[in-house]
Chain A
Amino acid sequence: MRPWVHLLCIVGGITAPIGLTLLTTSSGGARSAAHYAAIDQQAMSAREVMQAFEKLAFDEHKPVEAIERYFSPDFVDHDPDVKGDRASVIARMKTLNWDHGGPRRTIRHLIAEGDIVVIHHHLVRNPGERGIAAVDIFRVERGKIVEHWDVLQPVPERSINPAPMF
């Protein structure tokens, strides 16, 4: 092989795979950042999914974005106060007072076993309220929350029990 032909082959041999890699990893490509982000999420454990959801929804006050990212389109909620699909949960979240300090969740216990995550937390929907002792139960499949149950108990003004609720 003549040296100049060899040089051209080297240049072509390097640039062609680089070009294909850039094409496939571009935003519209089959190996885009969004593609890998979806795989990353699918590989997350149920606990990691719930912690990521809590962080985005409640710590960063982005509940709609969090539900769209972490709730399956086929999500089922057993809460009798909503219709039960993902859209109804988003609609419910939008009614909460996100711009004035609430709602705020303080997680007391987080238990994960298999695809089930149980979160015992203190929910304060508006600043100054005593709030609610809540247990949320989630089922997670392939990086998405697919089912939810909850049990809520308002924190009373007075208690005959000397032990606090939390």
Chain B
Amino acid sequence: MNTQAQAAAPVRATDGFTILAYAVQFFFGGWFLFHGLNYFLAFFPQPPGSSVLTHEFIGALIDSGIFGVVKGIEVATGVAFLANRFVPLAAVAAFPVSFSIAYINFVANGDALSVLVSILVIGFNGIIALGHLDRFLPMLAFDQGDPGARGLKQFFGGR
């Protein structure tokens, strides 16, 4: 693989935002890894939700089996954040989980801690993504042009 991302020189600057983004990234990574692994290894009882609605929602996720997928994403992205590898990809992959956590905490629970969690989880995911915004800028093209094999060639080592 020889992508443009790899070809670009890694950023070494340690300004305030870099330190903030790193702090958030490692905290967020530890948070996702710990709570993701807890589903499989049961360090402590799986929180059943802090309202009747979230209780039923989480129960439905568990019964349908998709909660395992969600927790798998938490583990994978948590490892990526802590390893400081594939961080832009992990920020994107974690976002649907973060949004769901934020939504259910804010809308269904609504207590002070839940509102704080919903703000933090979106804020943290957003800060991590903003720290690598340059990786996402090509996606923000208004006129993206025609599709082609350029990306495939780059991905598999061509020019």
In terms of DSSP, what is the predominant structure of the interface of chain A?
helix
Q: Chain A: how many interface residues by the 8 Å CB criterion?
A: 24
Closest to A16 in B: B27
Partner of B48, one of A14, A18, A36: A36
A9 touches B48 (CB 8 A): no
From A15, A39, A142, B49 is in contact (CB under 8 Å) with A39
A31 interface contact, C-beta 8 A: yes
A15 lies within 8 A of B55 (CB): no
Cβ-neighbour of B50 out of A14, A18, A39 (below 8 A): A39
B134: A residues at CB distance < 8 A: none
B27 touches A142 (CB 8 A): no
Scoring A residues 9 to 43 as 1 if CB is less than 8 Å from chain B, else 0, what string do you get?
Answer: 11011111110010011000011010110011011
> Does B156 have its Cβ within 8 Å of any Cβ on chain A?
no
**What residues of B have a CB within 8 angstroms of the CB of A30 in the complex?**
111-113
Interface pair B26/A10, CB less than 8 Å apart? yes
Q: Which of A1, A36, A40 contacts B84 (CB 8 A)?
A: A1
Collect the chain B residues with CB atoms within 8 Å of residue A158's CB: none
Q: How far is the CB of A36 from chain B (nearest CB, A)?
A: 6
**Docked-complex contact B51 and A39, CB < 8 angstroms:** yes
Chain B residues whose CB sits within 8 angstroms of the CB of A13 once the complex forms: 25-30, 81-82
Map CB proximity to A onto B22-66 as digits: 1 under 8 Å, 0 otherwise.
100111111101110000000011011111100110000000000
**Closest A residue, CB atoms, query B44:** A25
Contacts of B48 in A (CB 8 A): 36, 39-40
The B55-91 residues at the A interface (CB cut-off 8 A) are: 55-56, 81-82, 84
Q: Which of B5-35 contact A (CB under 8 A)?
A: 22, 25-31, 33-35
A36 contacts B47, C-beta separation under 8 Å: yes
| From A6, A10, A17, A25, contact of B34 by CB (8 A) | A17
